[in-house]
Amino acid sequence: MSRLISVRDIQEMIRSGQGVSIPDDALITPSARDFLGELAANGGTHPSAVKAAAPASTSAAPPAPPAKKLNSKSPKAELEAFFNSPYAHSLKEQICEMGHRLWKRAYVDGNGGNMAIRVGEDIAICTPTLVSKGSLKPSDMCLVDFEGNQLLGTKKRTSEILMHLQMMKRQPQAVATCHCHPPHATAFAIANIAPPTCMLPEYEVFCSVGVAPYRTPGSPDMGKLVAELTDQYNTILMANHGVVTWSHNNIEEAYWRMEIIEAYCRTIVVAGQLGKPINTFTGPQMKELLNIKQSLGFVDPRFGMKECELCDSGEWRPGATCQAPPSGEVVTGLDPEAEAAVKAITDQILSQMQ
């Protein structure tokens, strides 16, 4: 079991003169974390190397980002100080937490899945290769430049880092990226279709979904095709592979998109099996949801469309009838090939569930 570290434990380490050393898998109380942050700020060194005592703090404010923006050309000592700072540590912990959630929800298998957070002009903290997201530790994290060169970290960076970096280069708003293989959303990626829209509010507000064609994972071509979609989409289905999301806020929001698209895909597959007509949003209802989405700063290719154009023109709509009047600009009708592919996958999923 992980050891719980309190402020008293840290004070005891300092008193004993042994220095502060926190095991990687230790649980740290919020006040102990603040205490460590203040120690580091006062000493100008990493908490684990701090030997001097400092006053305890009860504030719960998260560590502040560095005042000076770093880049890949910054002196190594500055990059190291940053990488070992309480702020960078808090980002590494967030990645670990999201990794644990991905694993618990079975969105990743083996060493699958990877994440990155932009931390400067052209540098990012990312997950290592060949580590299960279920057992990620802050000390596993890597610092890379935007060409994918590893700058710091003892483990080797993920082999899929190029895609994350190409997304960040193409989409300046992308602060954090998350990639994994949630089964139902990945099923749509295998069928090469975006899920139909106009059915659930969370999906409409949080996700804008595009589909990128298949390329070998980790190849520059894969990253390029995904990156091109980030102008209009924050959730990208990677054909025959999985899903990647980005957020302009933080890694948790990029992770939320995974939960939302996966739950949505699962729900509409089941809804399509009920043998009842599926109700969809009207144009005005969709417009309201898109207004909320725009106010949250998310991207969507449908902003600015007329209400009558918002009704889904997707290739697969299980039992749903379009609520909007037909318009010359709206593509209607089903693609029999796509429908057959989805039906085959749906049958497979359902037979596994039985």
Site residues (vs Zn ion, CB under 5 A)? 242
The smaller minimum CB distance to Zn ion, of residues 242 and 314, is found at: 242
Number of continuous H segments (helices) and E segments (strands) in the chain: 11, 10
Contact 254, 115 (CB under 8 A): yes
**Among candidate residues 226, 237, 234, 239, the one with its CA nearest the CA of residue 190:** 239
DSSP label of 135: G
Whose Cβ is closer to Zn ion: residue 153's or residue 242's? 242
Of the candidates 290, 301, 208, the residue with the CA atom closest to the CA atom of residue 248: 208
Is residue 116 within 8 Å of 165, Cβ to Cβ?
yes
- Nearest distance, CB of residue 112 and Zn ion, angstroms: 6
Angstrom distance (rounded) from CA 152 to CA 175: 19
In the bound state with Zn ion, the residue whose beta carbon lies nearer, of 94 and 186, is: 186
CA 129 – CA 114 distance, rounded (Å): 8
- Could you identify the residue written with the tokens 């992770």? 255
Shorter beta-carbon distance to Zn ion: residue 199 or 244:
244
Whole-number minimum distance, CB 107 to Zn ion, in Å? Answer: 11
Cβ 254 to Zn ion, closest distance in Å? 15
The DSSP-derived string for 145-163 is: ETTS-EEE-SSPBPTTHHH
In the complex with Zn ion, the residue whose CB is nearer, 63 or 128, is 128
Closest approach of Zn ion to the CB of residue 143, in Å: 21
Q: In this structure, what is the dihedral angle of CA atoms 197, 200, 201, 203, given to the nearest 10 degrees?
A: -60
Closest approach of Cβ 31 to Zn ion, in Å? 39
Query: Measured from the CB of residue 352, what is the shortest distance to Zn ion in angstroms?
Result: 21
CB of 83 or CB of 107, closer to Zn ion: 107
SS (H, E, C) 242-260: EEEEEECCCHHHHHHHHHH
The answer to whether 239 touches 83, Cβ cutoff 8 Å, is no
**Cβ closest to Zn ion, residue 128 vs residue 242:** 242
Q: What is the largest CA-CA distance in the chain?
A: 78
Nearest approach in angstroms of CB 301 to Zn ion is 25
